[in-house]
Structures are given as structure tokens and as C-alpha cells.
């Protein structure tokens, strides 16, 4: 029997596996994808997340991310730029996830790919789509925004219907690459935003978080949605027209922004987006993933499976303020009437950016 079973090989699952294996616990991580992929994510790795990775023994300089030190808000034709209150990097999730999974393997965790967990059948048993079962002393639930049958996030349905996330890589024109170097560029529009960040391979990570209704109005097609946004976000449209969209859209529906797990079952540790889902516009989802995984592994190593409830309560308490601040910033920035006054306020008072960055962060 495995002592610990991690379900999901994103940042939360792999950091938990790494920490537990390093702490001497026999640990198995299962990931439903057979190969590396680029999930919906803006690819913006904050200084806090980099610091947490460093403390987990990851050589963050070797990740090769694109250094970011400025932030640009674009609201229609209006532009605001400010120095970021902390340094960050642009990095594809394909790269980050691969490095973290390898680090977990190097620490002694066993990894299985192409295996999809289907449900929790009792507090220690997970059944799989391939019809096998795994029994473990402790289960670390790291499936991101996807629910697992039997341990669905309680009370998320009301929030969840509102937003969808979309992601694709964009090969930028030379002029665009030069203009956006060192920058995270956020295009605000009604009920959503798009982010652009240069990643380690010189392509842009294009990521949108938008009201599901807007995508439905565009017939469910992200390409048609981008065409509709041309009026509201002309610079974004220009960047896309001058570059080349690469590959397929990744998408995620029903994002439960603002949700956090306040309780759990004995032996079940929710980490990453299964612990708290921070608004992506202002928050540090990868930082939360690593911080929660670190805290869960510490609790499990020190106090055993029975520590799950105390860990979950404590993490929910720590996440309350950052989530609430990020929700406030998201609500204000995404409402059509507010984005222009906000842009004016930020240009008059750029320290608000530093406040926003601090108030939405959580550390281990």
C-alpha cells in the first residue's frame, strides 16, 4: 500500500509529492495526461512562487523564464504602465510542470501518467477510469479546477458557472516582441481580461478569463470571441493579427474564483486549486499551489493523515484575505463602468499596485 497518493501532476501535486518523498514517505503521483501539456494559465510566475520553489530545492534560474519587471494595463486606447513591486518570470506551464515532476521523481516519488482517477469510494480508496483501485493512508487531492466524484467542492456551483479560461501560444511579430519584453500586458474589457507574457521559448502566452456568456454569444468559438473583442481591445487584436496563433486552444469552464476548502475528510488533503481558487487577474495561483502543497506535506509528515482537517482549516484561514482582495480587484477591473476610472486612479497613484500585490499573496 502507498502511504500517500497524489492525484494530479500540476504544481500542487508535484510539490506535495516532492516534499513527501523527501520526508521519507512512500508516495505515488498519478496524472491523467500521458504527456506534457499547456493548461489554461497566464504563465506569470511571481517572486513569491519563485521563492517557494527555491525553498523546495528547485533551481529557479535554470528554468530559463523570461524576466518580467513591468506591468501594462490596456483599457481600450488608454494605457497605464508601472514597475512591478516584485520581479517575476514568464514561463510555459509545460516547462514548469515538467521540471517539478522530474524533481518529484528525483526525490523518490513514483509517477504514473495517463491514469485518470474517477472517484473517491471511501476515505482511503480511489477508483480509476481503467477500473483499478488504489488504497492509501493519505490522499492529496491536486486535480486543479476539475472535480473528483465523491469529493466535489461543496458550494461551488453558484460561482462556477460564470467564467471560462482560454489559452494559446502566439508567435509575436518582431515589433510586438520588442514592445512587450520584460512586461506583463493585461487587456481589460467587459466581463474579462486577456494577458500576454513572453515565455522561455520567445512565444507569447495568450490567456483569457471571460464570462461564459461572452463565449456563448460568440457561438462557443474562441476565435470568434477574439474577433468580437476587436472593438474593446484593439491593441490585443492588432497583436494577434500581426503574429501567428500556434496549436490548439486549451480551455477550462466554470472557474470557481474565490472558493476555498474550509473542511475536508480524514486523510484527504486538498491542495492548489482544490484548496483555494484565487482570481487569476490579481492573484498568484501557482504560489498558492506551492504554499498549500508545502503546508499539507509538512502536516502529513509531522502528524499523519489525521492532520488533514487542521491543515485545511488553517490554510483556508490564511487564504481568506488574499482571496477576498483578489475578488475585489477582479470585480472592479472587469466591470465595464469601472475599468477607465481605475486606470486613471492607478496612473495617479501607482502605489495601489504594490498594495494589491501584497494583499493578494500567501506564503508558506
Ligand X SMILES: Cc1cc2nc3c(=O)[nH]c(=O)nc-3n(C[C@H](O)[C@H](O)[C@H](O)COP(=O)(O)OP(=O)(O)OC[C@H]3O[C@@H](n4cnc5c(N)ncnc54)[C@H](O)[C@@H]3O)c2cc1C
Interacting residue ranges for ligand X, rule: CB under 6 A:
7-13, 30-33, 39-44, 49, 116-117, 142-146, 148, 165, 207, 209, 252, 255, 272-273, 280, 284-287, 289
Q: Shortest distance, CB of residue 349 to ligand X, whole angstroms?
A: 24
> Considering beta carbons, is residue 133 or 306 the nearer one to ligand X?
133
Q: Shortest distance, CB of residue 307 to ligand X, whole angstroms?
A: 20
The Cα–Cα gap between 129 and 273 comes to: 22
> Considering beta carbons, is residue 326 or 344 the nearer one to ligand X?
326
Q: Shortest distance, CB of residue 315 to ligand X, whole angstroms?
A: 13
Q: Shortest distance, CB of residue 230 to ligand X, whole angstroms?
A: 20
Cβ-based neighbours of 361, under 8 Å, separated by 6 or more: 46, 48, 284, 287, 322
Q: Shortest distance, CB of residue 344 to ligand X, whole angstroms?
A: 25
> Considering beta carbons, is residue 100 or 176 the nearer one to ligand X?
100
Run of H or E residues at 87: strand 78-90
Count of beta carbons in the 10 Å neighbourhood of residue 158: 9
- Report DSSP state, residue 152: P
> Considering beta carbons, is residue 2 or 347 the nearer one to ligand X?
2
Q: Shortest distance, CB of residue 282 to ligand X, whole angstroms?
A: 10
> Considering beta carbons, is residue 271 or 307 the nearer one to ligand X?
271
Q: Please tell me the total number of residues recorded for the chain in this structure.
A: 364
Run of H or E residues at 347: helix 336-348
The Cα–Cα gap between 52 and 49 comes to: 5
Identify whether the C-beta of residue 100 lies closer than 8 Å to the C-beta of residue 15.
Answer: yes
DSSP 64-111: -PEEEEEEEEEETTEEEEEEEEEEEEE--HHHHHHHHHHHHHHHT-EE
The Cα–Cα gap between 307 and 118 comes to: 25
Identify whether the C-beta of residue 94 lies closer than 8 Å to the C-beta of residue 242.
Answer: no
Identify whether the C-beta of residue 144 lies closer than 8 Å to the C-beta of residue 271.
Answer: no
> Considering beta carbons, is residue 53 or 252 the nearer one to ligand X?
252
> Considering beta carbons, is residue 163 or 239 the nearer one to ligand X?
163
Q: Shortest distance, CB of residue 22 to ligand X, whole angstroms?
A: 18
Identify whether the C-beta of residue 28 lies closer than 8 Å to the C-beta of residue 110.
Answer: yes
Q: Shortest distance, CB of residue 15 to ligand X, whole angstroms?
A: 8
> Considering beta carbons, is residue 40 or 240 the nearer one to ligand X?
40
Nearest of 40, 32, 11 to residue 248 by alpha carbon:
40
Nearest of 159, 117, 130 to residue 259 by alpha carbon:
159
Amino acid at each position: 500500500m502507498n502511504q500517500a497518493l497524489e492525484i494530479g501532476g500540476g504544481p500542487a501535486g508535484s510539490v506535495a509529492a516532492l516534499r513527501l518523498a523527501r520526508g521519507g514517505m512512500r508516495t505515488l503521483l498519478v496524472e491523467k495526461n500521458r504527456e506534457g501539456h499547456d493548461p489554461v494559465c497566464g504563465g506569470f510566475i511571481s517572486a513569491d512562487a519563485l521563492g517557494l520553489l527555491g525553498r523546495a530545492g528547485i533551481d529557479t534560474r535554470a528554468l530559463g523564464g523570461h524576466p518580467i519587471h513591468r506591468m501594462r494595463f490596456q483599457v481600450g486606447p488608454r494605457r497605464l504602465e508601472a514597475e512591478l513591486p516584485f520581479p517575476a518570470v514568464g514561463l510555459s506551464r509545460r516547462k514548469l510542470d515538467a521540471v517539478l515532476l522530474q524533481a518529484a521523481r528525483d526525490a523518490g516519488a513514483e509517477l504514473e501518467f495517463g491514469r485518470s482517477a474517477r472517484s473517491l469510494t471511501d476515505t482511503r480508496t480511489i477508483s480509476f477510469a481503467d477500473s483499478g483501485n488504489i488504497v492509501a493512508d493519505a490522499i492529496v487531492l491536486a486535480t486543479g479546477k476539475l472535480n473528483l466524484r465523491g469529493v466535489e467542492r461543496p458550494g461551488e456551483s453558484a460561482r462556477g458557472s460564470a467564467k471560462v479560461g482560454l489559452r494559446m501560444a502566439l508567435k509575436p511579430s518582431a515589433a510586438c516582441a520588442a514592445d512587450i519584453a520584460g512586461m506583463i500586458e493585461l487587456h481589460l474589457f467587459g466581463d474579462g481580461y486577456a494577458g500576454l507574457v513572453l515565455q522561455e521559448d520567445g512565444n507569447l502566452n495568450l490567456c483569457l478569463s471571460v464570462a461564459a456568456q461572452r463565449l456563448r454569444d460568440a457561438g462557443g468559438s474562441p476565435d470568434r470571441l477574439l474577433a468580437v473583442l476587436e472593438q474593446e481591445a484593439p491593441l490585443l487584436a492588432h497583436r494577434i493579427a500581426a503574429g501567428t496563433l500556434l496549436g490548439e486552444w486549451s480551455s477550462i469552464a466554470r472557474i470557481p474564483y474565490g472558493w476555498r476548502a474550509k473542511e475536508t475528510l480524514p486523510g484527504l488533503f486538498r491542495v492548489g486549486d482544490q484548496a483555494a481558487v484565487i482570481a487569476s487577474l490579481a492573484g498568484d495561483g501557482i504560489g498558492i499551489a506551492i504554499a498549500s502543497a508545502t503546508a499539507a506535506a509538512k502536516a502529513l509528515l509531522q502528524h499523519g493523515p489525521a492532520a488533514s482537517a487542521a491543515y485545511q482549516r488553517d490554510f483556508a484561514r490564511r487564504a481568506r484575505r488574499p482571496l477576498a482582495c483578489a475578488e475585489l480587484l477582479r470585480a472592479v477591473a472587469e466591470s465595464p463602468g469601472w475599468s477607465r476610472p481605475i486606470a486613471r486612479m492607478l496612473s495617479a497613484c501607482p502605489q495601489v499596485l504594490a498594495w494589491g500585490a501584497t494583499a493578494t499573496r500567501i506564503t508558506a
